[in-house]
Structure 1
Amino acid sequence: MDSTTHKFYHVHGMDSRSHLDTYFSNKEDMVFAEDTLKFPMVMIHYQFSTGRAEGTFLIDISIGSFIHHLYSASKFFKKIVLLKFQEKCIMELNRWLHDRTGAYDWSHTSSAAAELEGTRDQLQEQDMRLRSSIKQILKCDFEQENISNQVLLPLADCIISAWILEIISKNEDEYMKNLEKIIKLLKPGGQLLLIAALDITYWFVGAELFHSFKCNEEFVKNAFVKLGLVINYCAVQRRRNVSNLTDYKAILFIAGRKGQ
């Protein structure tokens, strides 16, 4: 596939609602649930419930406007800040955050989160707890030295980054620079939880074709080590669907602690 026809998510933007419907919804024809919904939620819940990642302040830097991966985080982190590339994604998130008409329905994931926690009789509390934990949704810019777009944030105890580095990086050098900028927002001893699509070269939202930098597990692990992160957990789930909307081979979850 000709890479010159690919759009770049952080440059050209995308239809945030179509992205959610395609990759994160509860629709019958949404085939990615095992990889995009269940696997990240189980992995993140495990990290927090076992005390592997802890603190009070968490930053999330992820593609699009999904929130399901943050349900477990909100049980342990009282302050969560989201960094987003697009105003459309910020607007989408604000609709959900303030429970406005037309907000995206995340009930399929709030129920999954409650099941993970063993609190299925407290479904409404999942959404309430997460809403109260999210303190800011800010626009980010990786062209700036401070990616939080001139807003000075305190260093985070934990950062979650899902499906963003491979999407905004053209090559290995850019990937390393972008990862380094994320790590700069992490306090010494803090934990980075990264979710990535492996061996991906493209993905569709509607009729729009988007770029992705193809990387494998070994490359990501080496990047962590080179930038001073001590890897303390890694899991790979082989792709569990058939679709021509994207060509990733597996989903990677990796956790690394920043040196003191």
Structure 2
Amino acid sequence: MASCTRKLYHVHGFDPRQHLEHYFSDKPDMVFEEDFLIFPIENLTKTFLEGHIRGDVLIDLSLGSMIHHLYAPSEFFKNIIILKVRDRCILELKRWLNTRTGAFEWGHATQLHINIEGKSAELQDKEGKVREAAQHVAKCDLDKQNIMDPVVLPPADCIISVFLLDCICKDQDDYVRYIRKFSELLKPGGHLILIGVINMTYFTVGKDKIHGFAYDQDLARKTVAAEGFVIDKCVTKKATGISDLVDHKGVLFIASHKEK
């Protein structure tokens, strides 16, 4: 497949380390700090500090090998199940979880969380909580009826999905189908948190141009509500990270709960 052709993340994959370096590093020329680091950390931290999202099991279904979105929930969930659709993303994530040499450095994101939370803490304490909670990392297939077949997942109290639907959905029907699948994984009354990019048609990792599903806040809200969720919070932010790496117009945060 030619490098100019837009690839599907869950079918063709990408280099997860390059993805982290492009969009989540602390390099001076990394222009996405406000959109992809501060916005998720700030909204997740504030939402979890409200104290009504907690329980036994949290499932994370997110893009690539990110971990910065797990700082806030690790304070309220001792069992975080991380599911990935690509093996390479699992390997890259496990480098950090197992503190291996050469793992991506997340200290800058950890410090952002500490600053936003406003509590005195050490980087090692925050990162240690994530590592302690995230004991289960596995591959899943979102197109199967049971995404972990033959393993049956326990019903979750909360699902977090960050930037995943933006690149595995080809159209609105896919978006509806995956939201419905997330709902099936939740307990009645369980919480669904979505973080996405608005009106993105592509993003670039190395030489690969990855497909993006262009949608807006209205479509996301209507879909979530139509699938039986009550929206508790919806926040959007206009894109400030301008680069030819990605053509997104903004970022979106939705916190909701499933009607009992």
TM-score range, shorter chain: over 0.9
Q: Is the counterpart of residue 101 in structure 1 residue 109 in structure 2?
A: no
Tell me the residue number matched to 1:175.
175
* Inter-partner Cα distance in structure 2 for 1:255 and 1:110: 22
Tell me the residue number matched to 1:139.
139
CA contact (8 A) 2:23 2:30 kept: yes
Tell me the residue number matched to 2:36.
36
What is the DSSP-based 3-state SS (H/G/I as helix, E as strand, rest coil) of the residue aligned with 2:241? coil
Q: CA deviation at 1:149?
A: 4.0
| Residues 4-23 of structure 1 deviation map (CA, whole Å, 9 limit, x = unaligned) | 92100000010000000001
| Residues 111-134 of structure 1 deviation map (CA, whole Å, 9 limit, x = unaligned) | 112222333442210111110011
CA contact (8 A) 1:139 1:149 kept: no
TM-score by length of 2: 0.96
Tell me the residue number matched to 1:77.
77
| 1:1-260 to 2 correspondences below 5 Å | 5-260=5-260
What is the DSSP-based 3-state SS (H/G/I as helix, E as strand, rest coil) of the residue aligned with 1:46? helix
Give the direction of change, closer, same or farther, for the CA distance of 1:76–1:121 in structure 2 (3 Å limit). closer
Structure 2 alignment gaps of length 5 or more: none
| Residues 61-95 of structure 1 deviation map (CA, whole Å, 9 limit, x = unaligned) | 00000101111111111100101011111011111
What is the DSSP-based 3-state SS (H/G/I as helix, E as strand, rest coil) of the residue aligned with 1:28? coil
What is the DSSP-based 3-state SS (H/G/I as helix, E as strand, rest coil) of the residue aligned with 1:177? helix
Q: CA deviation at 1:215?
A: 0.6
CA contact (8 A) 2:234 2:254 kept: yes
Runs of 4+ in 1 over 3 A off after TM superposition: none
RMSD (CA atoms): 1.2
| Residues 185-231 of structure 1 deviation map (CA, whole Å, 9 limit, x = unaligned) | 11110110100111111110011111111111100011011110111
Which amino acid letter does the alignment assign opposite residue 94 of structure 1? K
More displaced, 19-28 or 118-127? Answer: 118-127
* Inter-partner Cα distance in structure 1 for 2:72 and 2:186: 19
Aligned length: 257
Which amino acid letter does the alignment assign opposite residue 141 of structure 1? D
CA contact (8 A) 2:53 2:76 kept: no
* Inter-partner Cα distance in structure 1 for 2:252 and 2:121: 31
Q: CA deviation at 1:151?
A: 2.1
